[in-house]
Amino acid sequence: MPLATSEYVSNVWREGIFDDKVVFCTGGAGSICSAQVRAMVYLGANACIIGRNVEKTERMAKDIATARKGAKVLGLGAVDVRKPEALDAAAERCAKELGSIDFVIAGAAGNFLASIDNLSANAMKSVIDIDVLGSYNTVKATLPYLVESAAKYKTDGKTPPAKGTGGRIIFVSATLHYAGTAMQSHVSVAKAGIDALSVNIAIEQGPRGVTSNTIAPGAIGGTEGMDRLSRKEDRERSAKMIPSQRMGTVKEIADATIYLFSDAGNYVNGETIVVDGGQWHMGGIDKGGFEYPDFLLSGETVTGVAGGKKASKL
């Protein structure tokens, strides 16, 4: 049964604005990225979502396709973003079966809680490889298609583009590195790298009509990440640390996506759109009930959450 549209997109957007367009998304079976893609599909796009888990990715693709009658959504599992040849093949298949790649969402990511003294070199490398190298590989695989789309769907900022927009990429980042966040050094480094990558792509590919921007979500309720990285009993207290006094929704990330990909976002390039209710301005000390600095000084490893790591020696 299709999700209510109010769960993943606002009613301010006109239906059909992405007709005949294709969005390619890594991490597309995840809570946030699937909402981004679902909103695009509802508004006319076809899609190709990429993931490592075959069953989960194919199941999510079928679910997303219910957003619009006649929608085509490919679910390509067994694709590791750390392997460029796998992404090259996925992009080629997407363009061949759906006709193009007009929009890209680089959303594949890995995360867990661990202080630096409990973080192994392999664990650090894994996050860097998935987030940074994976984003780089996504760009390399899809850039030729994005350049082609940008040339086809030029915008001048004066008149609404008759055939819509194209040639745009969004990276899914975070705000963890803005003020520093305990037990997230690995992810903070990775997301800072993604932010830098996005800006450089904007500078280099802007003259070809391609735009590159980043969305930095804050605490988004009901997502896999929130369930894995926080204790249920601590979430209400953590929400009170957010100026907006609540966690965000996946719909609010999807709306930011539509803005950047639509005619409204034509002149936005090389920017980061923070969607966090003002949370990052409060600093990065609070982390789901693990008291600062007592927990860190104790030398204990994280327990009570699914996304923890065993201790490792420095």
List C-alpha distances in Å: 23 to 98, 148, 175.
Answer: 10, 14, 25
Q: How far apart are CA 138 and CA 91, in angstroms?
A: 9
The angle at the Cα of 90, spanning 64 to 192, to the nearest 5 degrees, equals: 85
**Are 238 and 219 contacting, i.e. CB atoms less than 8 angstroms apart?**
yes
Distance CA 186, CA 160 (A): 42
The β-bridge partners of 73 are 47
CB 106 within 8 Å of CB 172:
yes
Residue of 100, 115, 149, 173 with catalytic role: 173
Residue 173 annotated among the catalytic residues of the structure:
yes
Can 149 be counted among the known catalytic residues?
no
The active-site residue, picked from 21, 191, 251, 287, is 191
CA angle 257, 89, 164 (to 5 degrees): 35
- Catalytic residues, which ones? 173, 191
